Structure 1
Amino acid sequence: MKLIYKLLILVTVLSACETDDEIERRDGSLPRMDCIDIEDERGIIAEYTNEAGFILLPEEACPVFRIDGDFKTEENYLDLWICNLPEEFQQDSLEVIFSGYLYETFENENVCAQLFELSEIELRQ
């Protein structure tokens, strides 16, 4: 479990360093969900724009950075697993405004948060 936790943190930190992806999105290209290593194509099921939330640190039950807030689907409330959270935002309970894409989760997956790719994030005033 600790190895998985460390690998997820490493992937998150490394992906936060990529700036080309941000520039492409501002130019209007589609998100690619390339901030984590996945083999299967995932569809975008929602787009969030200028949503308020707060950062949750990895923990034993869910070893990934997440955004918590009032995000509801038909089934339940969601925590969003931020696959590309910049390092400067990796602080517990940090209040943020963000935009990005929610990706589908497959039926056979047991996840603690929904896959989410940021397109923008800033501190909430």
Structure 2
Amino acid sequence: MPAIRWLFLIVFVLVYLTACSNDDGLRPRCFQEENRRVTRTVSNRTGTVIAPDSDNPLSCNTIYVIEYDGTIEGFTIGLLWGCNLPEELKEDGTRVVFDGYAFETFETENICAHFFEFTQINRIEE
């Protein structure tokens, strides 16, 4: 009888550990040192690259950002700072289509663009 109890206990612990995981399958690589949560996954969005030295009034001084088309629920700023924007797309006015992860911002932060990690991004040939 004790062997059945041990088996039950082991099965219970294994089920508990896997069921209580907060890992939703996402594997973000950016902003992890700041312990930011992924707040949403974005798919098949389009936008325009804005260079930091651009004359565009939406330019963010030192970083490349994407002005996305349309709206994204919960976003108050129309810009994304992609931590992993490929060098070949860092050209002002480049049109792109992308997927990725949006990260939380903290109430104490003054940001010019939402934190973002591209899982896929491609130039739109027009």
Does residue 102 of the first structure (1) align with residue 120 of the second (2)?
no
Q: Distance in 1 between matches of 2:74 and 2:87?
A: 32
1:1-125 mapped onto 2 (5 Å cutoff)? 30-34=26-30, 39-59=33-53, 61-69=60-68, 70-74=70-74, 76-125=76-125
Q: Offset at 1:78?
A: 2.2
Q: Distance in 2 between matches of 1:75 and 1:82?
A: 15
The two structures have a TM-score, normalised by structure 1, of 0.66
Q: Offset at 1:75?
A: 6.1
Question: What letter is aligned with 2:36?
Answer: R
* 1:3 match: none
Q: Offset at 1:63?
A: 1.8
- Residues 55 and 92, structure 1, Cα contact 8 Å, conserved in 2: yes
- Taking every aligned residue pair, what percent have the same amino acid on both sides? 33
**How many residues end up aligned between the 2 structures?**
95
Q: Distance in 1 between matches of 2:60 and 2:45?
A: 25
- Residues 71 and 77, structure 1, Cα contact 8 Å, conserved in 2: no
**Largest Rg, 1 or 2:** 2
- Residues 28 and 101, structure 2, Cα contact 8 Å, conserved in 1: no
Q: Which structure 1 segments of 5+ residues have no match? A: 1-28
Q: Distance in 1 between matches of 2:86 and 2:105?
A: 23
Q: Which structure 2 segments of 5+ residues have no match? A: 1-24, 54-58
CA separation of 1:112 and 1:62: change in aligned 2, threshold 3 A: farther
The two structures have a TM-score, normalised by structure 2, of 0.65
CA separation of 1:51 and 1:33: change in aligned 2, threshold 3 A: same
Q: Offset at 1:40?
A: 2.6
- Residues 71 and 79, structure 1, Cα contact 8 Å, conserved in 2: no
Off by >4 Å, runs of 4+ in structure 1: none
- Residues 62 and 113, structure 1, Cα contact 8 Å, conserved in 2: no
